[in-house]
Structure 1
Amino acid sequence: MKNKKSLKNKFLFGLVIMAIFCEVVSSQTIDNIRAEIILKMPGNPGEHFTLNIKNVSRDNTISYLGGNEFPMVVTGTIEESGSNIHYSISLTALENVFFNFKQSVAAGGAVHENCQFLMPGFWYRHNLRSPQAAPSFHTSESWLVREDRLSSPLTGVFDESTGRYFTVLRTDDLKTVAYTAINYGEVILSGENDLGFTGFENQEGKTWLSFGFPYREYPKTYIRKLTLAPPVTSFYELKKGETKTLSWVVKKGRASDFSDFVSQVWTSTFDYLKPQAVSLLYSENEIKRTLSNFFVESYVESEDLNYFSGIHLRTDECKDMGGAEVGFIGRVLLNAFFAHQYAIENGHLEVGKIAAKILNSYLENGFTDSGFFRESINYHTHEESDVYSIRRQSEGVYAILNYLDYERKHGRNHPGWEGRMKKLLSNFLRLQNGDGSFPRKFKDNFELIDSTGGSTASAIVPLVMASKYFKEKEYLKRAEKAGKYLESEVIHKSDYFSSTLDAYCEDKEASLYASTAMYYLALASSGKKHVHYTLLARKAAYFALSWYFLWDVPFAQGQMLGDIGLKTRGWGNVSVENNHIDVFIFEFVDVLNFLSKETAEKRFSEFADVIKTSMFQLLPYPGHMCGIAKTGYYPEVVQHTNWDYGKNGKGFYNDIFAPGWTVASLWEMLTPGNAIEFMKSY
């Protein structure tokens, strides 16, 4: 390319795509495909070329016509197999070029305002639960995003008016991504790159699935929590004579509703990508021994509460920051139970003493005047929250009921703890609304701060457990009432939101908690009720699974997570607001294995094996510290895409993390069958 001539004059729209069909290509087929290419000369703005398409011969070829001087030849095949259409496109450079290619396929003529959208682990419906500063229809009705944002490199559209759906899935083996100095505007990639983009667009009121290579993001790119930035378009260099081959599959089908659509998409994508378990170099016993170091080194005593310091730590120090938190990101009490159990079963006296001191301090000093857990305290800043949450309270009750059950089975009783739990459970009953829901946040005097019911599922689990432990039918009755709310307002509406306490948006944990809650109700029931709750657990499970990665995103050399070999399959994206992956799993592997057995869905147990192996890859121990300062302090905020929680970005962690909950999550996954064993006891 020469500076003296503009690209537009020189190349005269000259792009050719050849497509071979099993049948003659119709004009209708041609009308359902659009394409464009952007060519860039370094130091100059890229030039857009809209490509004209027509059927050129009887041998089933189509051409995206332009002038003979265009510097690329693009050839392709389109093969139709049942409900799938496979696109394979090869781009060959006639001289050195920097390009960005996009193709769009019509979603069956669907009217855009009738459609709901899915980009797994990132976009659900219109993302309208999300704030305006996160990706959503609040900002635009068309979105293109880089593939590594998504738990599957896929976009789907569901037409509610007809029940028809279309998806597009990238089918190449994506192994490389180029490191870039900037992440907005027009960017020439520094080297090899397989990463493209996908999304949906409103074109003249109709929905089109759009996809291409290399990546671009439009109308905004999402760079950190609640921070939208200018769009980005990247350009890949092809030298004269070089070829880049790309492939996608477009699938069409029918679904009864959005939930059915999500389940069908997850199933077909799982079958296509076939994620496999990850090989580990250490055993489950070695993992527990490594994680147990967290119990020792994070232990802190005060004149008030003793606790594991597991929140707001720096990854390069892991020093106590004064934070004691019952649930959510701290999980002090669940870790205390696991430490107690581990100490007894392995003769670890030091860990046993630590667990006892924590539990005793919370029994004596860990409750408010009204009987709620003191949820979150910082002993360095002398700050204590006066706003409480149904999630943290529920997680605290869950931990203590597991502890009491374990102790009872070993001939030890704790009437003081039982009294505390009965008082707290009576508070739960008082908080429950007439429709069965529980408020998200409240004060010690029961004043409601956030009355939305998105966290209702959290309360069901301890209520079911308490109904068995205390032999109190009222608890189960209230759990079932909450279950009806969850069924009608969350699961049937596919409206999973606001379970993550630091965000107001669609999130993974809401669907995971919903599935787990129905699992507990199923275990506590028999006959038709058991079947009913099991099917609801399955319905919510598909939504939870949609957040978990079915593929391995590529990292560039120099991005630590790639350099140490992280495979992202089996890890879960967090929420629309918090666009990173983590190891939030707790009992969900048990739920998947239960559902696999009860519903004969083998994919659940197969993917449970992927999760169970993959999530231990970043276990920090001497010689394998994975960027963490202390052994057993398992990382979180694992940043897998162009997004950061405040520091570092793709391929690294945020500099602040909370190993309190990560240790608890992984430890619980290592103790399978907990709920079933609990229920069997009563």
Structure 2
Amino acid sequence: MILRKLLSGILGLAGILGVNAFEYAPSNVSASIALKVPGNMAVHYPLILNKLSNGNFDYQLVSNHKLPVLLYQNITGEGQTKQISLWMVALEDVYFNFGEQVKSDARHDDCLFYMPGFWYRRNLRSPKEAPSFHTSDSWLVREDRLSTPMTTIFDEKNKKSISVTRIAEFEDEALTTHKEGEVILSGKTSIGYTGFENVSGTATLSFGYPYKEAPKSYIRKLTLAPSVEAYQFLKKGETLTLTWEIHETTADDFSDCVKQAWEYSYDLYKPTPVETPYTDEIIKEVLSNFFVESYVDDTPTKYYSGVELRTATCENLDVAEVGFVGRTLLNAFNALEYGEGKQRADLVKNANSIFDSYLQHGFSEAGFFNEVVHYKRNFVEKNHSIRRQSEGVYAVLYYLNYEKQHGRKHPEWEKRLKTMLDAFLKLQNPDGSFPRKFKDDFSLVDKSGGSTPSATLPLVMGYKYFKDKRYLEAAKRSVGYLEKELISKADYFSSTLDANCEDKEASLYASTAAYYLALATKGQERAHYAELAKKAAYFALSWYYTWDVPFAKGQMLGDIGLKTRGWGNVSVENNHIDVFIFDFADVLHWLSKEFNEPRFTAFSEVISSSMRQLLPHEGHLCGIAKKGFYPEVVQHTNWDYGKNGKGYYNDIFAPGWVVASLWELLSPGRAENFLK
């Protein structure tokens, strides 16, 4: 026993020493500066770190060549966290790009990598046309791609992590005339770069200023482009100070690494709510105009036109979509509930007509929703998705529960939903997963289980509404699959239907699914599902911005003052921010109380406040043609969905799901009230 305790103490001490083993020294740090004379290719100069024995700085960075800049560095802090502060003064007018590399003590092949909202593990769920290990094992990216300008290396073998995070005011951005090669900035930028590189087999943190991207830049969906290296102008006599923070810790696994990294970045940046004049009531009043102007009633199924609209006109189109980006049925429920509360007969009439028409004309022969219908083209999507089907059932269950509370019964709808939920039981695989896409005859189109958590919600609700334990058991099996294949492996993928990659919605849906089951169970089961919800929540949170990305003058989002903190990046493939939240805010508030974690509630308030900013109304249309048609594809970095780029929206958008998401954010407690 004594020997065991002694060995345990030695191992524990080794772990502590391992965490604090990093020392900033020339043996594991390298730096370089690239200088560019306009009209000429840049020249790259390796820098030598000369230790200074006295004075104001720890190191002077010098080259074998005479440079037109002086470079000094200080290293402060002790133990797990150290700050690197670089001081640069120009002896002549100069265009520069500075970079630094810090080697970890881990083999690159033993490591997983994390860049919040962009890179998870090795991005192997993403195709080779997007940033991933399929293309390279070393990546540098501009900081505004990331929800926190941080890179973390997790040594999976030795359970250690090391990260670098930029500390700055982030106030400036500059336009450029080119997006690849060597680019001279038109003004001052605050955006640098961060990333990881394989340096002779050692996992290495790389960071610098201004930005560069290598080996490829990522300019639009599934489009890698040549690398870019930006050059900042520094006038003779001017000085510049840059600061990064290196942080080390131990972590049990990649999930623990992400959890600790999010807590650390939240504490470092301390994001606060964004002040806006929009109360919940004001927002709902403005958004309700979407229910009025998008309503289409000259088709067999009435619907809200919320898909494939043009931002310039917001004119209604022929596309009716049940879930995903259309969310017609959830919008109909929201319009009904709001319309009755506000005595808006027009909203009530239209919402009821949508439910009535879908009951009559909205189903396939096998009893699934016709998910997407293009009326003018006479096209009905034959491939079903578990996500859209689930979102449709979810909306109708809220509708039926509301109607029942008001003394109105809909036995035909109940019969339809029972048929659909029974079909879900048939679709469910032995491992608890659901196929992503399938046909009316139950044959599979996409067997991937990434969308499984979307089915959990209506199954739990169906159990409560119909008092059928089969649905609860199916929900438990689905979360059993999530626990085994997604949550325990920290591998959240392919929940969204327009990408095959690591994405926010997979972790958000997984956390929400476990939350629903926690609400529907008791005792140890409830505690277990609560733990799963919390574990997945950190991954969902990691996609949300803790900082405000700077925009250049002339980029609309900057000109109207958008603060990006609280907005969520979408996926590796789709590198823009949006307001996807739905009832995840409720999950965060609940988890905050369950686990006494004030960060969850505090950051939920940041999300809620920030997502109000682009509310389009008279005098504040934010680049949208109609009041209440809230924007969707908000392009915050050097990436576009096809049009316009940073600081603007794509020209095509889907306000249907956006309105539904914001409405749920502003309707707290729905799940708890339904399931209590």
TM (normalized to structure 1)?
Answer: 0.95
Q: What stretches of structure 1 move > 2 A for 4+ residues in a row?
A: 25-29, 52-69
Q: Which residue of 2 aligns with 1:231?
A: 227
- Verify the 8 A CA contact 1:121 1:575 in the aligned structure 2: yes
- Verify the 8 A CA contact 2:24 2:75 in the aligned structure 1: no
Q: Which residue of 2 aligns with 1:15?
A: none
Letter of the structure 2 residue corresponding to residue 64 of structure 1 = L
- Verify the 8 A CA contact 1:27 1:55 in the aligned structure 2: no
CA deviation vs aligned residue, 1:235-265 (integer Å, no higher than 9, x gap):
0111110011100100000000000000000
Corresponding residue pairs, total: 655
**2:676 matched to 1:677?**
no
Structure 1: tracts of 5 or more residues without a match = 1-24
Question: Following TM superposition, by how much is the alpha carbon of 1:380 offset from its aligned partner in structure 2, in angstroms?
Answer: 2.4
Letter of the structure 1 residue corresponding to residue 312 of structure 2 = D
- Verify the 8 A CA contact 1:158 1:164 in the aligned structure 2: yes
Q: Which residue of 2 aligns with 1:14?
A: none
**2:456 matched to 1:460?**
yes
Q: Which residue of 2 aligns with 1:21?
A: none
- Give the alignment partner of residue 332 of structure 1, picking from 324, 328, 332: 328
Q: Which residue of 2 aligns with 1:519?
A: 515
Letter of the structure 2 residue corresponding to residue 97 of structure 1 = V
Q: Give the 3-state SS of the residue equivalent to 2:25 in structure 1.
A: helix
- Verify the 8 A CA contact 1:395 1:458 in the aligned structure 2: yes
Q: Within 1, Cα distance between the matches of 2:572 and 2:564?
A: 18
Question: Following TM superposition, by how much is the alpha carbon of 1:27 offset from its aligned partner in structure 2, in angstroms?
Answer: 9.2
Q: Give the 3-state SS of the residue equivalent to 1:106 in structure 2.
A: strand
Greater displacement, 244-253 / 60-69: 60-69
Q: Within 2, Cα distance between the matches of 1:245 and 1:65?
A: 17
Question: Following TM superposition, by how much is the alpha carbon of 1:381 offset from its aligned partner in structure 2, in angstroms?
Answer: 2.0
Q: Give the 3-state SS of the residue equivalent to 1:99 in structure 2.
A: strand
**2:566 matched to 1:570?**
yes
Q: Give the 3-state SS of the residue equivalent to 1:202 in structure 2.
A: strand
**2:412 matched to 1:390?**
no
Letter of the structure 1 residue corresponding to residue 97 of structure 2 = N
**2:293 matched to 1:297?**
yes
- Verify the 8 A CA contact 2:273 2:609 in the aligned structure 1: yes
Structure 2: tracts of 5 or more residues without a match = 1-20
Q: Give the 3-state SS of the residue equivalent to 1:487 in structure 2.
A: helix
Q: Which residue of 2 aligns with 1:77?
A: 74
Question: Following TM superposition, by how much is the alpha carbon of 1:382 offset from its aligned partner in structure 2, in angstroms?
Answer: 1.9
Question: Following TM superposition, by how much is the alpha carbon of 1:58 offset from its aligned partner in structure 2, in angstroms?
Answer: 6.9
- Give the alignment partner of residue 124 of structure 2, picking from 119, 128, 138: 128
- Verify the 8 A CA contact 1:178 1:190 in the aligned structure 2: yes
Report matched runs for 1:426-437 at 5 Å: 426-437=422-433
Q: Which residue of 1 aligns with 2:165?
A: 169
CA deviation vs aligned residue, 1:557-590 (integer Å, no higher than 9, x gap):
0000000000000000000000000000000000
Letter of the structure 1 residue corresponding to residue 176 of structure 2 = T
Q: Within 2, Cα distance between the matches of 1:370 and 1:40?
A: 66
Letter of the structure 1 residue corresponding to residue 407 of structure 2 = G
Q: Which residue of 1 aligns with 2:261?
A: 265
- Verify the 8 A CA contact 2:60 2:73 in the aligned structure 1: no
Letter of the structure 1 residue corresponding to residue 294 of structure 2 = S
Question: Following TM superposition, by how much is the alpha carbon of 1:68 offset from its aligned partner in structure 2, in angstroms?
Answer: 7.1
Q: Within 2, Cα distance between the matches of 1:27 and 1:105?
A: 10
Q: Give the 3-state SS of the residue equivalent to 2:132 in structure 1.
A: coil
- Give the alignment partner of residue 491 of structure 1, picking from 487, 492, 506: 487
Q: Which residue of 2 aligns with 1:92?
A: 89
Q: Within 2, Cα distance between the matches of 1:205 and 1:365?
A: 61
Letter of the structure 2 residue corresponding to residue 427 of structure 1 = A
Q: Within 2, Cα distance between the matches of 1:88 and 1:408?
A: 63
Q: Within 1, Cα distance between the matches of 2:440 and 2:541?
A: 36
**2:654 matched to 1:654?**
no
Q: Which residue of 2 aligns with 1:156?
A: 152
TM (normalized to structure 2)?
Answer: 0.96
- Verify the 8 A CA contact 1:321 1:380 in the aligned structure 2: no
- Verify the 8 A CA contact 1:441 1:449 in the aligned structure 2: yes
Greater displacement, 299-308 / 33-42: 299-308
Question: Following TM superposition, by how much is the alpha carbon of 1:337 offset from its aligned partner in structure 2, in angstroms?
Answer: 0.3
Question: Following TM superposition, by how much is the alpha carbon of 1:192 offset from its aligned partner in structure 2, in angstroms?
Answer: 1.5
- Give the alignment partner of residue 65 of structure 1, picking from 62, 80, 86: 62
Q: Give the 3-state SS of the residue equivalent to 1:31 in structure 2.
A: coil
Q: Which residue of 1 aligns with 2:439?
A: 443
Report matched runs for 1:141-540 at 5 Å: 141-540=137-536
Letter of the structure 1 residue corresponding to residue 580 of structure 2 = F
**2:100 matched to 1:103?**
yes
Letter of the structure 2 residue corresponding to residue 448 of structure 1 = L
Letter of the structure 2 residue corresponding to residue 198 of structure 1 = T
User: Cα gap change, 1:33/1:110 in structure 2, threshold over 3 Å: closer, same or farther?
Assistant: same
Q: Within 1, Cα distance between the matches of 2:647 and 2:219?
A: 14
CA RMSD in angstroms, aligned pairs only: 1.3
CA deviation vs aligned residue, 1:313-355 (integer Å, no higher than 9, x gap):
0000001121100000000000000001011110000111110
Letter of the structure 2 residue corresponding to residue 643 of structure 1 = W
Letter of the structure 2 residue corresponding to residue 536 of structure 1 = L
Letter of the structure 1 residue corresponding to residue 219 of structure 2 = I
Q: Within 2, Cα distance between the matches of 1:87 and 1:201?
A: 19
Question: Following TM superposition, by how much is the alpha carbon of 1:303 offset from its aligned partner in structure 2, in angstroms?
Answer: 3.9
Question: Following TM superposition, by how much is the alpha carbon of 1:377 offset from its aligned partner in structure 2, in angstroms?
Answer: 0.7
- Verify the 8 A CA contact 1:84 1:251 in the aligned structure 2: yes
Q: Give the 3-state SS of the residue equivalent to 1:29 in structure 2.
A: coil
**2:558 matched to 1:591?**
no
Q: Give the 3-state SS of the residue equivalent to 1:671 in structure 2.
A: coil
- Verify the 8 A CA contact 1:335 1:664 in the aligned structure 2: yes
Q: Within 2, Cα distance between the matches of 1:493 and 1:610?
A: 29
